[in-house]
Amino acid sequence: MSSILIKNIRAVDTRNDVLTDVFIDNGVIAEVGTNIHSGADELIDGTDLVLMPSLFDMHVHFRDPGQTEKEDILTGCAAALAGGVTGVLAMPNTKPPCDNPGIIEYIRKKAEGTGVDVYPVGCITKGMKGEALCDYDELKKAGCICISDDGRPVENAEMMRKALELSNENGLLVASHCEDLNIISGGIINKGETSAKLGVKGMDRASEDYITAREIILASSVNSRIHICHVSTEGSTAIVRFAKSRGIKVTCETAPHYFMLTDKLLEKRDADYRMNPPLRTPEDVRAIIDGIKDGTIDCIITDHAPHTAEQKADFEKAPNGVVGLETSLAAALTALYHTGEIPLKRIIELMCVNPRRILGLEIPAVQVGKTADLIIADINRKWTVDPEKLHSKSHNTVFKGMTLTGRNLVTISKGIIRYDERK
């Protein structure tokens, strides 16, 4: 394993923000300080750049097995590394769904050697059909650390309550896709002025708010943890905030498009701006930002959901979902850091520390003895998102043509440079 010396770089984690040199040897940070002189195999000039812990995205869809025309584990990991992500939770709505040890083993083995720690999420219910619970002990033994039926909700409240109750016994995190399908009833974008203007069926925010409240009530009843996926509304944010104030063990996440964009973009009738939950209103965007600032929202994720151009061609019939692994850091820096909403250390908490803390994983830091899971970024670099240059198989990004400020340049996973834009 080669050694790396990074000179004159701003090293930032949740504890430190210093100009320093960093020496990496045998996969770990061996020295941090000024004027380090070492015969390293790789020398990196960090002038005007930032070194920080690598990102962990606890909500991605790699489509493998079963839909590899959209993405596979290898291309998904390549996209992750380009975005500075060295760990992911891969959601279970594959084909077939990830509800047994065989599929979990397939995903984990295929991800070996990529430089990305891929944690397959097991299903809450068999086949994601909502009819019977999976064998959670079996899933955990196979390597699961989280269960979810993401892509759809668990419609039966008692079944969800039982899953939460069992999670207290096996330690698995339960993550919920908060959507009431009866309320949605075929809606494809946020219900409001834009849906009315376009004459398409809308998705009422009550769907998300109601199930968010339901999950919190159920978790409270059995004193279990619950993680709320992809929060997008002012109402859900307020519900989570209240639950936290009552000591309920709830955590939640949001994605960059929910704190940057509104449903007005759907006036283009471009399905690349359709995802579930959908883009909302300016009031929701502000509420999500406020939730990030006050600690209500724990994590920034992507809900990376690739679809082919052909699948996205028909605005009203296209599947929901957008890719985001390669733009998430840039989007967060653009919308939250460069606007003065939150400091850089808070970005690191949201994208590096909190996801791993929630999942009970080792948290990287720029400290001697820590595993070298790091990224080097130019946080002031302006660049325009070109979908054709993405590493993902699919290019359905909401940020196409947008100029963002901040970009990952180098991704180091366990001491190995796995992505280097400079080369």
Yes or no: say if 75 and 118 are a contact pair by the CB < 8 Å rule: no
Confidence (pLDDT) at 357: 98
Give tens-digit pLDDT for 224-282. 999 999 999 999 999 999 999 999 999 999 999 999 999 999 999 999 999 999 999 99
Confidence (pLDDT) at 369: 98
Nearest by Cα to 248 from 222, 229, 230: 222
pLDDT band (50, 70, 90) for residue 423: confident
342 pLDDT more than 90 = yes
Confidence (pLDDT) at 420: 98
Confidence (pLDDT) at 259: 98
Question: In percent, how much of the chain has pLDDT > 70?
Answer: 100
Give tens-digit pLDDT for 373-413. 999 999 999 999 999 999 999 999 999 999 999 999 999 99
Average of per-residue pLDDT values in the chain:
97
Burial of 329 (0-12, 13-18, 19+ CB in 10 A): buried
Q: For the domain 54-359, what is the CATH code?
A: 3.20.20.140
Confidence (pLDDT) at 39: 86
Confidence (pLDDT) at 422: 85
Confidence (pLDDT) at 1: 78
Task: For residue 303, indicate whether it is catalytic.
Answer: yes
Q: Which of 13, 149, 303, 373 is catalytic?
A: 303
Yes or no: say if 299 and 253 are a contact pair by the CB < 8 Å rule: yes
Give the fold, CATH level 3, of 4-51+369-420.
Answer: Urease, subunit C; domain 1 (2.30.40)
Helices of type H across 143-270: 157-170, 181-184, 193-198, 206-222, 234-245
d(CA 23, CA 45): 12
Is 4-51+369-420's fold the same as 54-359's?
no
75 pLDDT more than 90 = yes
Burial of 102 (0-12, 13-18, 19+ CB in 10 A): exposed
Q: Where are the domains of the chain?
A: 4-51+369-420, 54-359
pLDDT (mean) for 279-294: 98
